[in-house]
């Protein structure tokens, strides 16, 4: 199986800034106390880039790809979605190649998969990929409130019986991607990524779970998955469809499953990249997050295998779906 390296990453989310903070949040199952991060997109991009910029030292700028995306207009910096990738490319060098992906809440994962495609085709030698968003602004929150998907409790409770929607969070993550074994010891390897479209409805996935089940099967093949970071928004329909898909695919040898949105809220276009960062930390630190915050009322009761943390985590699947039918899955493994 051909793989690609996640050489390094940076992350800022409602849980805090940097790897150490997020490892502690995973180990203690800490839930964010607030979901805004108090900075605009340009400041966020600069803070994410600073710990990674040494990785491109000495690489000709025309061999560096920048697939750093926003899924919508950025209200705090008053910039269009493509401007983050252009700005970061300008910091790297005059010939770095910028690109923006707009795939709703699958934007982060699709950006990483696009970066892998660039490496596979030989267009570049290093890719900076990921996504960022600061969406806790009145217009965005009003729009999602009108859709009826925001939690009236003010908390995201994926896969629980009393779930009533999600809370918008802010943040982002950037990844340094290379071809396997080309530039040093990686934190994780990307084994397979899949993008699909679900034509069921503009705002929801197939309630039978069939489209998500197909996405998972195409991604994992015969590989054994130890943990799934579900999209798990805490909405009534999404969680039920996702659970139906898991029941179809994993009849036996069931992996642990949870949704880290219970800790971070839903970061919209940034959610895929932040959740991938958490998954990389789970691999490197061998820690997995249980269903939060209330497993006693979990829809997954009776599926005991989903609640048992395995002896080791070797392979993780992370999933994201977005309005408009965007579906994305990425499988990563220990190096």
SS (H, E, C) the chain: CCCEEEEEEEEEECCEECHHHHHHHHHHCCCCCCCCCCCCHHHHHHHHHCCCHHHHCCCCHHHEEEEEECCCCECCCCECCCHHHHHHHHHHCCCCEEECCCCHHHHHHHHHHHHHHHHHCCCCCEEEEEEEECCCCHHHHHHHHHHCCECCCCCCCCCECCCCCECECCEEEEEEEEECCCCCCCCEEEEEEEEEECCCCCCCCCCCCHHHHHHHHHHHCCCCCCEEECCCCCCHHHHHHHHHHHHHHCCCCCCEEECCHHHHCECHHHHHHHHHHHHHHHHHHCCCCCCCCCHHHECCCCCHHHHCCCCCCCEEEEEEEECCCEEEEEEEECC
Catalytic hit among 156, 266, 279, 326: 266
Residues near 148 by Cβ (< 8 Å), separated by ≥ 6? 165
Tell me, yes or no, if 156 is annotated catalytic: no
pLDDT in tens, the chain (335 residues): 678 999 999 999 999 999 999 999 998 889 999 999 989 999 999 999 999 999 999 999 999 999 999 988 787 877 777 889 999 999 999 999 999 999 999 999 999 999 999 999 999 999 999 999 999 999 999 998 988 899 998 989 898 888 899 999 999 999 999 999 888 899 999 999 999 998 887 777 899 999 999 999 999 999 999 899 999 998 888 999 999 999 899 887 778 888 999 999 999 999 999 999 999 999 999 987 776 655 444 566 544 445 555 568 999 999 999 988 899 999 999 99
Catalytic hit among 156, 231, 279, 326: 231
Q: Which domain holds residue 112?
A: 1-335
Catalytic hit among 22, 105, 156, 279: 105
Nearest of 21, 69, 15, 20 to residue 45 by alpha carbon: 69
Q: How many domains does the chain have?
A: 1
CATH code of residue 335: 3.40.47.10
Contact 315, 333 (CB under 8 A): yes
């Amino acid at each position: 199986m051909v793989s690609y390296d996640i050489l390094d990453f940076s992350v800022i989310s409602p849980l805090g800034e940097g790897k150490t903070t997020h490892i502690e949040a995973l180990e203690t199952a800490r839930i964010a106390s607030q979901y805004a991060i108090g900075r605009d997109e340009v400041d966020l991009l600069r803070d994410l880039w600073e710990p990674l910029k040494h990785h491109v030292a000495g690489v000709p700028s025309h061999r560096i790809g920048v697939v750093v995306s926003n899924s919508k207009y950025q209200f705090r910096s008053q910039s269009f979605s493509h401007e983050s990738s252009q700005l970061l490319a300008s910091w790297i060098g005059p010939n770095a190649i910028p690109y923006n992906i707009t795939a709703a809440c699958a934007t982060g994962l699709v950006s990483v998969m696009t970066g892998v495609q660039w490496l596979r085709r030989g267009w570049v030698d290093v890719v900076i990929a990921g996504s960022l968003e600061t969406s806790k602004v009145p217009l965005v929150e009003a729009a999602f409130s009108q859709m009826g998907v925001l939690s009236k409790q003010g908390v995201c409770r994926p896969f629980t019986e009393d779930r009533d929607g999600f809370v918008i969070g802010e943040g982002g993550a950037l990844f340094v991607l290379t071809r396997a074994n080309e530039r040093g010891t990686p934190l994780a390897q990307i084994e397979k990524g899949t993008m699909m479209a679900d034509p069921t409805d503009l705002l929801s996935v197939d309630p039978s779970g069939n489209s998500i089940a197909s996405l998972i099967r195409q991604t994992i093949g015969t590989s054994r998955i130890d943990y799934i970071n579900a999209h798990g928004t805490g909405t009534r329909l999404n969680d039920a469809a996702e659970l139906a898909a898991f029941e179809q695919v994993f009849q036996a040898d069931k992996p642990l499953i949870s949704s880290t949105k219970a800790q971070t809220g839903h970061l919209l276009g940034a959610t895929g990249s932040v959740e991938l960062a958490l998954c990389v930390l789970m691999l490197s630190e061998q820690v997995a997050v249980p269903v939060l915050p209330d497993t006693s009322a979990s829809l997954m009761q009776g599926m005991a295998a989903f609640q048992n943390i395995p002896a080791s985590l070797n392979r993780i699947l992370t999933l994201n779906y977005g309005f408009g039918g965007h579906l994305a899955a990425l499988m990563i493994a220990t190096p």
